[in-house]
Amino acid sequence: MPKFAANLTMLFNELPFLDRFAAAKAAGFTGVEYLFPYDFEKAVLGEQLQQHGLTQVLHNLPAGNWSAGDRGIAIFPDRVTEFRDGVKRAIEYAKALGCRQVNCLAGITPADADPAELQSVFVENLRYATSALAKQQIKLLIEPINTRDTPGFFLNETEQAIQIISEVGSENLFVQYDIYHMQIMEGDLAPTMKKHLDRIAHIQLADNPGRNEPGTGEINHPFLFRYLDEIGYRGWIGCEYKPKTTTLEGLGWYEPHTVDA
């Protein structure tokens, strides 16, 4: 079975953030991810990882003002300097935390924008970021996100991500494939993951509808876990879902001694 990482932005919200590392370890997880590390000192986060024997699997590049509605800044012509400064900051954190991959959120398309111009900016920003990250042996990921939860998000289908990767022309650019988002946008999960396996560096999960834990919706997660083994996926799967009740009550689907062995 695949390796599962607890997404500490979504899971164990019953606890303060820094206490979630211990909770994840106690629940049997060996890896963690979360949206952003930047509100905490690198040493503080590193201490939590080391103390609990956890691998930092993923975090995002700085994505603008999240509380004000930003969902990434990589497509905006007037924020290129901010984006590049964010790449440098992400590298500092990733190196300190031993994180070997970071995700780039594209951003929400402004109503009056030219999509071709936004894509051009996105591609150039990704070229800059992949080059800078490659020097540190850190992978860059881009993530298609559904437009029901995030209306107007620029990147929302797998083939679109693959096309952008081709245009960027870097061997250091990959897809973060979120099962929940892609079930909403395109379905056909298993064949799509098999087709693009060589470009998928990270997978995330949640069930649909509701974005809750596996077993609460329509997605056949046990089949997908077996299928990913069969096709040779060796990366992590991030558990980026909203527990229906508490995190621990919602972990009935997860058997850590089996899946993380």
Tokens of 83: 């984006």
Name the active-site residue from 33, 82, 240, 255: 240
* pLDDT score at 212: 98
At residue 257, the pLDDT reads 43
User: Which of 92, 143, 218, 230 is the catalytic position?
Assistant: 143
Domains of the chain: 3-257 (3.20.20.150)
Residue found by looking up tokens 């900016």 in the block: 121
What are the angstrom distances between the C-alpha of 115 and each of 8, 152, 214? Answer: 33, 11, 35
Count CB atoms within 10 A of the CB of residue 8: 24
Arithmetic mean of pLDDT, 219-233: 97
pLDDT exceeds 90 at position 227? yes
- CA end-to-end distance (rounded Å), the chain: 8
Pairwise CA distance, residues 102 & 87, whole Å: 10
Query: Is residue 255 very low, low, confident or very high in pLDDT (cuts 50, 70, 90)?
Result: confident
Query: Which of residues 2 and 241 earns the better pLDDT score?
Result: 241
179: DSSP letter: H
- pTM, to two decimals: 0.96
Per-residue pLDDT of 150-171, as tens digits, reads: 999 999 999 999 999 999 999 9
CB atoms within 10 A of CB 92: 14
Reported as a single tens digit per residue, the pLDDT across 104-143 is: 999 999 999 999 999 999 999 999 999 999 999 999 999 9
Percent of the chain with pLDDT over 90: 97
Active site residue 240: yes
Rounded alpha-carbon distances, angstroms, from residue 19 to 6, 23, 107, 133: 13, 7, 30, 30
Token digits of residue 72:
């990434």
Q: Is the pLDDT of residue 261 over 90?
A: no
Pairing of strands 200-205, 31-33: unpaired
> What is the 8-class DSSP label of residue 8?
T
Q: Is 92 a catalytic residue?
A: no
Give the count of beta carbons closer than 10 Å to the beta carbon of residue 254: 17
Rounded CA-CA distance 25/90 in Å is: 25
The whole-number average pLDDT for the span 40-53 is 98
Q: What is the pLDDT of residue 256?
A: 65
